């Protein structure tokens, strides 16, 4: 990989793809509020008679469609990429694979807003194959995966009326997703809970999916489009090294000149403790 702007962006994207948001207990996905967690082992929370929303709120559910076990995933990565650093931070807990947003009756919200995929769940199998360059393709892969997952889940009856999700549909979508991503069964666990989301009652759009990865990924995708189209602004072109400056200005040289003028004698440049004041000024800066 060279220092071309495209390669720099691919490497940066790869780092962000493999930086998941993790949780140790389901409530971590709901700002620590255990009352917002609906366990799925006792049945789906939207089944009749259903649940009531809080006052002046709309009720939605965001089903966490399986999760990657970070202990196992980290060990698998370390078996491929040896890390000899003793102070390496250890990833703990779980990383969601995907989320599905439904209304209070269990029906998927509008297309384009119902599903969200984790970049880590997608990128982990690629990293284990040492295809780090391929991690830069996440923006394109994300769009198609969301479209395909939505088709897996969205169902209608004979009259074209949307049907609520059931346990079979959720399990089928999870199995399809794990197989499509190429995640080994030993690294993942199936859907176990949904998050209750109490949305402002006048809001026209459904709630956003919970953050599962780096929020830089959308920005990096936008930057890549600008670079590819040749429309990157001047500051961005300089940052990525597309535009080379003819000369460089040492801004610290002017600062040093102000604090340590050559006209001062050696005695005047020393503090009472014998330490040059210039050094003290620069250290405090």
Is residue 43 scored above 80 in pLDDT? Answer: yes
Residue 285 has pLDDT above 50, yes or no: no
Average pLDDT (148-156) is 96
Residues 18, 120: contact at Cβ < 8 Å?
A: yes
**Mean pLDDT for the stretch of residues 31-47:** 95
pTM of the model: 0.77
Whether the predicted pLDDT of 262 surpasses 80:
no
Mean pLDDT within 180-198: 97
Measured between its terminal Cα atoms, the distance across the chain in Å is 37
Rounded to whole angstroms, how far apart are CA atoms 38 and 57?
18
Q: Percentage of residues in the chain with pLDDT exceeding 90?
A: 56
- More confident: 271 or 126: 126
Q: What is the mean pLDDT of the chain?
A: 86
User: What average pLDDT does this structure show over 82-88?
Assistant: 62
Order of strands, edge to edge, in the sheet holding 188-189?
Answer: 94-96, 67-69, 188-189
Tell me which residue has tokens 């009856």: 157
Q: What is the DSSP string of 256-276?
A: HHHHS-TTS-TTTTB-TTS-B
Q: Average pLDDT in the 192-202 region?
A: 96
Mean pLDDT calculated for residue range 166-176 = 96
Rounded average pLDDT over 99-116: 96
Given a cut of 60, whether residue 283 has pLDDT beyond it is no
DSSP one-letter string for 37-95: EEESTT--TTSTT--PPPTTEEEEEEEE--EEEHHHHHHHHHHHS----TTPPPP-SEE
């Amino acid at each position: 990989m060279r220092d071309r702007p495209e390669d720099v962006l691919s490497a940066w994207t790869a780092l962000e793809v493999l930086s998941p948001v993790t949780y140790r207990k389901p409530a971590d996905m709901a700002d620590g509020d255990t009352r917002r967690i609906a366990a799925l082992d006792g049945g789906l929370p939207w089944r009749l008679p259903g649940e009531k929303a809080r006052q002046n709120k709309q009720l939605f559910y965001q089903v966490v469609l399986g999760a990657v076990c970070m202990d196992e995933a980290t060990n698998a990565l370390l078996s491929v990429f040896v890390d000899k650093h003793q102070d390496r931070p250890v990833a703990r807990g779980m990383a969601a694979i995907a989320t599905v947003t439904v209304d209070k009756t269990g029906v998927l919200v509008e297309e384009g807003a119902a599903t969200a995929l984790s970049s880590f769940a997608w990128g982990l199998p690629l990293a284990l194959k040492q295809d780090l360059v391929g991690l830069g393709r996440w923006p394109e892969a994300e769009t198609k995966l969301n479209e395909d997952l939505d088709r897996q889940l969205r169902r209608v009856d004979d009259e074209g009326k949307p049907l609520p999700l059931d346990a079979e549909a959720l399990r089928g979508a999870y199995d399809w997703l794990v197989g499509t991503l190429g995640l080994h069964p030993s690294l993942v666990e199936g859907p176990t809970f949904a998050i209750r989301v109490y949305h402002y009652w006048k809001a026209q759009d459904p709630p956003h999916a919970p953050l599962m990865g780096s929020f830089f990924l959308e920005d990096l995708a936008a930057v890549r489009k600008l670079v590819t189209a040749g429309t990157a602004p001047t500051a961005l072109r300089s940052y990525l090294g597309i535009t080379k400056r003819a000369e460089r200005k040492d801004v610290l040289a002017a600062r040093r000149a102000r604090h340590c003028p050559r006209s001062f004698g050696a005695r005047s440049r020393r503090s009472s403790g014998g330490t040059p004041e210039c050094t003290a000024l620069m250290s405090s800066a």
